[in-house]
Amino acid sequence: MRAVVITRNGGPEVLRVEERPDPHPGPGEVRIEVRAAGVNFADLMARAGTYPDAPPLPAVVGYEVAGVVDAVGDGVEEISPGDRVLAATRFGGYASLAVAPADAVVPIPESMGFEQAAAIPVNYATAYAAAILMGGLREGDRILIHAAAGGVGIAAIQLARHVGAEIFGTASAGKHDAIRAQGCHHPIDYHRVDFAEEVMRLTGGEGVDVVLDAVGPTSFRRSYRVLRPGGRLVMFGLAETQTGPGRDLGALAKGLARMPLATMPWWKSLAMMNENKGVFGLNMLKWWDREGLGRLLPPLRELLAEGKLEPVVAAAFPFERAGDAHRYLAERRNIGKVVLTP
């Protein structure tokens, strides 16, 4: 098979297309002929050497694929060769063949293309866990979504729209029309205004019920402040520590140094009780390790079948241009998902 390999830590130039042995599905596994693979910030951090859960190098990363099943392992009965599927992969997604657990494989509607389908597993599972399970988002709630034009951001907008929430989203001004089209009621240009002040202005000083923040840590404290009583902040990323296509240890060190004071230092526990607010942390890889994706994929599968999910693909790059895909995402040029195609 052909695969995009992180040959060593560094900038996008360390990515190489290589021939590797074909993987074989074990019991309860499915092998997929990959037509599209999703690109995520975790991949960029793994390449740069700033992601602690990354596999040892040289390695093939990638958490999600879409394609056609070409082989199944023992015990797999509901999935057959020839099925069009999307799947969550624990690495190995940047390849022409990928293996995934059968319970992490979902059929793709005939009306959906492979590139769109590859945008679903990570982004929509993360958005569902953050907004619905942890955030408890309900009809009539207000939600603030940071990086609303990104892959998770657009997924969260679509889920919030489905629930019937009032949606606030931060994005650069050039992306406002795009997030409005998805259902964001209040786009906020975080380059021009302080998002916390703008949220409080728009809500008449009341604040919001849920905040999804993958930017932090400098935004975490302000996100906490805009919560109304009973509000929930979900932190699920540190995008600001990845400041460019390469490895920025200074930005990472500064970000990690800020983390202990970002939201809830130990001496603030009594104040938090008095403020009636909550803070959640979300790491999808740890979630997957502890209990799998059983609470996430079934409801997403149902919404997918009903046509309620509409993944937006910002750009598709062939394997040979994987470095360009990483640069594109690192520079925040995307509106929606970035994918690779074999």
Q: Is 119 left (phi over 0), alpha (psi -120 to 50) or beta?
A: alpha
Length, in residues, of the chain: 342
| Domains identified in the chain and CATH numbers | 2-120+311-341 (3.90.180.10), 122-285 (3.40.50.720)
User: In 96-226, where do the E strands start and end?
Assistant: 97-101, 105-107, 142-145, 166-170, 186-188, 208-213
Distance in angstroms (rounded) separating the CA atoms of residues 7 and 146 = 32
Instruction: List, for residues 42-56, the tens digit of each pLDDT value.
Output: 999 999 998 888 999
Instruction: List, for residues 68-91, the tens digit of each pLDDT value.
Output: 999 999 999 999 999 999 999 989
pLDDT band at 240 (very low <50, low <70, confident <90, very high): low
Distance in angstroms (rounded) separating the CA atoms of residues 198 and 260 = 26
Flag whether pLDDT at 300 surpasses 80: yes
Instruction: List, for residues 9-37, the tens digit of each pLDDT value.
Output: 999 999 999 999 999 999 999 999 999 99
Burial 49-72 (b: 16+ CB within 10 A, else e): bbbeebeeeebbbbbbbbbebbbb
Flag whether pLDDT at 113 surpasses 80: yes
Q: Which pTM was predicted?
A: 0.90
- Asked if residues 3 and 18 have their Cβ atoms less than 8 Å apart, the reply is yes
Going 88 to 92 to 97 to 103, the CA torsion angle's sign is negative
Mean pLDDT of 241-261: 51
User: In the chain, where do the E strands start and end?
Assistant: 2-6, 15-19, 29-39, 64-72, 84-88, 97-101, 105-107, 142-145, 166-170, 186-188, 208-213, 227-235, 278-281, 313-318, 337-341
Q: What is the pairing mode between strands 227-235 and 208-213? A: parallel
pLDDT band at 255 (very low <50, low <70, confident <90, very high): very low
pLDDT band at 341 (very low <50, low <70, confident <90, very high): very high
If DSSP codes are grouped into helix, strand and coil, which group holds residue 173? helix
